[in-house]
């Protein structure tokens, strides 16, 4: 039996409801619904995680399970699918699912690392590869992409998304959806994507996971909703509710977001699933009194499938009989579930080729793409004296707890990644450059939280015998991800001391940071000559980093989230609104305040006396081994109508010695609005590769309609007035160009 693969283009998906195929699907759903008992309908709304297979099969046989979660053995999936199709009364196939977040076997960089590429193509390819590998095992639904806007690096799940910017998250989320779901002509496997978490989860108060999200309504619409609207437009087959509440209403019971916005305003006809037990957790929130109340509020709000709270299957039959939920509402939910199964082709091809999975995992093309993603994701934050690349060294000391940590470099949400297939930096350096450079390895610390400083004196002595030190520091995988929030974002253990000991040798020190979030590495920059920041880079991170260190590849990554000076600045993000007293940068800082100074507030501005005015590194920041110059930035007109497109031209020059790629970024500011507007907003970006010394005329085309926002009257539109525009290499650079919208 050949593996089943069915794919859908975005246009085909959007047209399904109106075309003959879509009409046929609806007729088949009607026919099935007419045969189903209420209990069988509730069974379709029930998702169960992997457990005792005999018990699971009995539940499936009774029609009490619509989807299974966390089974990755294709033989086991086939066995349970066979029970559903051949032994249950109606033969409705199961929907096998799994958290495939940044790869299945071949692990790509964590999503935050992928965001640093500013490259939708490589993200689309990574999701396509994940779909190929996972669906070969029978997985047809993934709970990704996470398109929460995350402005606080203390939140552990910042690792799982695309950072702090709405536009970047929208573009990359669409690319990931397209990769998972494929296209009609590719012939490759497909998984249903799941846009999550709807909505506002990334704004968890204090960065503490599962906390409430204090988001004003217009901010919700202008900042947090656009990526999800883009996901609907891209044909995302499913949505997942979030754990948080907004304005006192948990998302899983929020009819406004699930019905008024998602269904009625945006026209979503896919399926909505709760997050793990988020229906049941509404009891702890104090929003539901008991299991039945939780299930009733979730289903009436618009949730179709329950993930592991057991409240739907356990209480909704009685709730229907008591009139708390109409059977019509149940039918709508089941219709959405069945429609998804029909669209995935599960009724026609429910089984998977059990031998194919072993053939496709870690295919050479998959590993090559993962390596490319890891190369593009690395951000060069410092490079004093052109320390990198290490072209002239003949010996290096490799040290630090992340140099040879195959499990940890995979990062969070790597359920199916295998440490045995991980290529670490130490292994890559030895294999790729060991015949040219003497490589000495002394980890000094055994893991990132290791506080033992007993080996640091020896580290300093060993460093004096080599030309350069490469120190691999960062976070173990377990220190980021769901439920792994931190209040202190400094390097853990004695890692900062390790860098200090290496620097004491007098040799050049290169720090390579592998982490799940932007850490507060200001103090560590003082103890290294160069710093390469590589968010947990995945299976092929070792090869990518080795080639970057020795100049085979050139860094091009840009920060998808602001680097803070210290955690006390959080939340901190580039696209904030101005205050009535913005900082000028000339204010007196704490070390400059004289003793017994008089108390005054005259002329005071918005800043911290200790950490100052801005971040350590702004959004969009990233160096290269070469230098780029922007010149001749201009727009085609001074005034634009509502239906016009702003045509931006500029010249980009590679003024250095290396062929390299720059991520050019387009920012806009609306100077006066009916509500205050951000000081800058990303509206476009493109990766531009130039040879050393090459210049190129480049363009951005920005439709004026993309300047729209929800204003004072709660209507979304472009407001007339004065604007500014920048083209630069990060969010803090460039000179503004004025224009006006009529």
CATH of the domain at 718: 2.60.40.10
Nearest to 129 by CA among 688, 482, 478, 538: 538
Query: What integer pLDDT is reported at residue 18 of this predicted model?
Result: 36
Pick the catalytic residue from 275, 304, 416, 524: 275
**Contacts (Cβ under 8 Å, ≥6 apart) of 202:** 148, 149, 150, 151, 152, 155, 157, 158, 161, 213, 224
Mean pLDDT of 124-152: 97
Least confident of 20-29, 356-365, 397-406: 20-29
CA–CA distances in Å: residue 458 to residues 345, 446, 552, 662: 62, 15, 31, 40
- Helix boundaries (H) for 236-275: 255
**Contacts (Cβ under 8 Å, ≥6 apart) of 722:** 671, 672, 738, 739, 740
Let me know if residue 239 belongs to a domain.
no
Residue 7, pLDDT > 90, answer no
Q: Per-residue confidence at 1, pLDDT binned at 50, 70, 90? A: very low
Residue in the structure block whose two tokens are 């051949």: 86
**Contacts (Cβ under 8 Å, ≥6 apart) of 691:** 654, 659
CA distance 670 to 575: 12
Query: What integer pLDDT is reported at residue 588 of this predicted model?
Result: 86
CA distance 133 to 660: 32
Query: What integer pLDDT is reported at residue 2 of this predicted model?
Result: 35
pLDDT tens, residue by residue, 600-643? 776 789 999 999 889 999 999 999 999 999 999 999 999 999 99
Q: Is 117 exposed, middle or buried (0-12, 13-18, 19+ CB in 10 A)?
A: buried
What is the H or E stretch that residue 271 is in?
Answer: strand 271-273
Residue 17, pLDDT > 90, answer no
pLDDT tens, residue by residue, 297-313? 999 999 999 999 999 99
Per-residue tokens: 718: 């472009």
Report the phi/psi class of residue 341: left, alpha or beta, with left for phi > 0 and alpha for psi in -120 to 50. alpha
CA distance 92 to 102: 30
Residue 27, pLDDT > 90, answer yes
Let me know if residue 637 belongs to a domain.
yes
Report the phi/psi class of residue 70: left, alpha or beta, with left for phi > 0 and alpha for psi in -120 to 50. left
Query: What integer pLDDT is reported at residue 312 of this predicted model?
Result: 98
Apex 116 CA angle, 114 and 121, nearest 5 = 55
Query: What integer pLDDT is reported at residue 13 of this predicted model?
Result: 34
Q: What is the mean pLDDT of the chain?
A: 95
Of 186 and 352, the structure prediction assigns the larger pLDDT to: 352
Nearest to 224 by CA among 573, 670, 690: 573
pLDDT tens, residue by residue, 428-439? 999 999 999 999
CA distance 175 to 118: 11
Tally of domains in the chain: 1
Task: Say if residues 697 and 647 touch (Cβ distance below 8 Å).
Answer: no
Query: What integer pLDDT is reported at residue 597 of this predicted model?
Result: 86
Let me know if residue 647 belongs to a domain.
yes
Least confident of 81-95, 242-256, 342-356, 440-454: 342-356
| Domain housing 668 | 628-741
Residue 19, pLDDT > 50, answer no
**What phi, psi does 702 have (nearest 5°)?**
-115, 105
The percentage of the chain sitting over the pLDDT mark of 90, rounded to a whole number, equals: 92
Let me know if residue 541 belongs to a domain.
no
Residue 229, pLDDT > 90, answer yes
Tell me the HSE value of 634 on the side-chain side, using a 13 A CA sphere: 5
CA distance 193 to 176: 8
Query: What integer pLDDT is reported at residue 6 of this predicted model?
Result: 31
Q: Per-residue confidence at 20, pLDDT binned at 50, 70, 90? A: very low
What is the H or E stretch that residue 299 is in?
Answer: helix 291-301
Nearest to 538 by CA among 71, 70, 112: 112
Residue 187, pLDDT > 90, answer no
pLDDT tens, residue by residue, 536-575? 999 999 999 999 999 999 999 999 999 999 999 999 999 9
Let me know if residue 701 belongs to a domain.
yes
Q: What is the DSSP string of 443-500?
A: -SSSSTT----TTHHHHHHHHTTSSEEEEEEE--GGGSSTT---S--SPPTTHHHHHH
Let me know if residue 694 belongs to a domain.
yes
Query: What integer pLDDT is reported at residue 4 of this predicted model?
Result: 34
Q: Per-residue confidence at 14, pLDDT binned at 50, 70, 90? A: very low
**Contacts (Cβ under 8 Å, ≥6 apart) of 146:** 101, 111, 157, 160, 161, 196, 197
Residue 165, pLDDT > 80, answer yes
CA distance 666 to 642: 19
Let me know if residue 669 belongs to a domain.
yes
Q: Is 275 a catalytic residue?
A: yes
Per-residue tokens: 346: 């599960």
Q: How are beta strands 645-654 and 695-703 bridged, if at all?
A: antiparallel
Mean pLDDT of 3-16: 33
Mean pLDDT of 225-242: 98
CA distance 723 to 10: 34
Mean pLDDT of 728-742: 98
Q: Per-residue confidence at 333, pLDDT binned at 50, 70, 90? A: very high
Let me know if residue 345 belongs to a domain.
no
């Amino acid at each position: 039996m050949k593996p089943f693969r069915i794919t859908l283009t975005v246009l085909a998906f959007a047209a399904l409801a109106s075309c003959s195929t879509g009409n046929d699907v609806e007729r088949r759903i009607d026919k099935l619904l007419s045969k189903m008992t209420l209990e069988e309908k509730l069974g379709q709304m029930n998702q169960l995680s992997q457990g005792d297979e005999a018990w699971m099969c009995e539940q499936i046989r009774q029609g009490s399970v619509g989807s299974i979660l966390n089974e990755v053995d294709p033989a086991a999936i086939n066995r349970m699918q066979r029970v559903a199709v051949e032994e249950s009364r109606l033969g409705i196939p199961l929907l096998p699912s799994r958290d495939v977040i940044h790869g299945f076997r071949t692990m790509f960089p964590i999503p935050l690392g992928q965001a640093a590429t500013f490259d939708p193509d490589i993200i689309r390819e990574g999701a396509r590869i994940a779909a190929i590998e996972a669906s070969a095992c029978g997985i047809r639904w993934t709970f990704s992409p996470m398109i929460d806007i995350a402005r606080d690096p203390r939140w552990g799940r910042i690792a799982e998304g695309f950072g702090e910017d709405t536009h970047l998250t929208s573009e990359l989320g669409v690319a990931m959806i397209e990769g998972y779901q494929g296209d009609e002509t590719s012939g490759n496997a497909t998984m249903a994507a799941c846009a999550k978490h709807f909505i506002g989860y990334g704004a968890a108060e204090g960065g503490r996971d599962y906390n409430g999200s204090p988001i004003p309504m217009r901010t919700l619409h202008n900042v947090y909703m656009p990526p999800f609207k883009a996901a609907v437009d891209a044909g995302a087959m499913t949505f997942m509710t979030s754990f948080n509440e907004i304005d006192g209403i948990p998302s899983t019971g929020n009819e406004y977001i699930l019905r008024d916005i998602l269904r009625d305003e945006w026209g979503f006809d896919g399926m909505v699933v709760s997050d793990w037990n988020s229906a049941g957790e509404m009891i702890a929130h104090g929003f539901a009194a008991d299991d039945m109340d939780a299930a009733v509020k979730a289903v009436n709000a618009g949730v179709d499938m329950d993930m592991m709270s057991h409240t739907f299957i356990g209480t909704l039959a009685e709730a229907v009989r008591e009139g708390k939920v109409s059977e019509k509402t149940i039918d709508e939910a089941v219709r959405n579930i069945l429609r998804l199964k029909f669209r995935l082709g599960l009724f026609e091809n429910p089984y998977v080729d059990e031998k194919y999975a072993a053939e496709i995992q870690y295919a050479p093309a998959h590993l090559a793409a993962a390596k490319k993603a890891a190369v593009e994701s690395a951000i060069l934050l410092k490079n004093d004296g052109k320390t990198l690349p290490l072209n002239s060294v003949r010996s290096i000391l490799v040290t630090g707890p992340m140099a040879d940590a195959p499990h940890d470099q995979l990062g969070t949400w790597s359920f199916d990644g295998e440490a045995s297939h991980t290529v670490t930096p130490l292994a890559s350096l030895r294999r790729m450059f060991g015949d040219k450079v003497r490589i000495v390895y002394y980890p000094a610390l055994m893991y990132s939280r290791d506080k033992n400083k007993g080996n640091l004196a020896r580290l300093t002595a060993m460093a004096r015998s080599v030309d350069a030190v490469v120190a691999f520091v960062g976070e173990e995988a377990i220190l980021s991800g769901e439920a792994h929030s931190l209040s202190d974002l400094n390097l853990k253990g004695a890692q900062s001391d390790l860098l200090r000991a290496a620097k004491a040798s007098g040799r050049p020190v290169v720090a390579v940071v592998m982490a799940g979030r932007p850490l507060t590495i200001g103090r560590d920059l003082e103890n290294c000559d160069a710093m390469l920041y590589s968010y947990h880079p995945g299976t092929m991170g070792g090869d990518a980093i080795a080639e970057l260190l020795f100049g085979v590849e050139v860094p091009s990554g840009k920060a998808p989230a602001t680097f803070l000076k210290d955690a006390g600045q959080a939340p901190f993000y580039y696209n904030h609104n101005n205050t009535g007293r913005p900082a000028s940068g000339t204010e007196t800082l704490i070390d400059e305040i004289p003793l017994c100074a008089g108390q005054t507030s005259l002329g005071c501005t918005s800043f911290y006396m200790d950490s100052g005015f801005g971040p350590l590194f702004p959004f969009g920041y990233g160096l290269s081994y070469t230098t780029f110059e922007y010149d001749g930035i201009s727009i085609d007109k001074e005034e634009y109508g509502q239906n016009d497109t702003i045509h931006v031209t500029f010249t980009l020059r590679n003024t250095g010695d290396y062929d390299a790629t720059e991520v050019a970024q387009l920012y806009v500011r609306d100077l006066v609005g009916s509500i205050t507007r951000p000081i800058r907003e990303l509206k476009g970006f493109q990766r531009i590769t130039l040879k050393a010394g090459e210049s190129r005329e480049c363009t951005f085309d920005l439709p004026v309609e993309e300047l729209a926002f929800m204003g004072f009257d709660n209507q979304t539109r472009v407001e007339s007035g004065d604007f500014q525009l920048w083209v630069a290499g990060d969010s803090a650079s460039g000179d503004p160009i004025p224009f006006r919208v009529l």
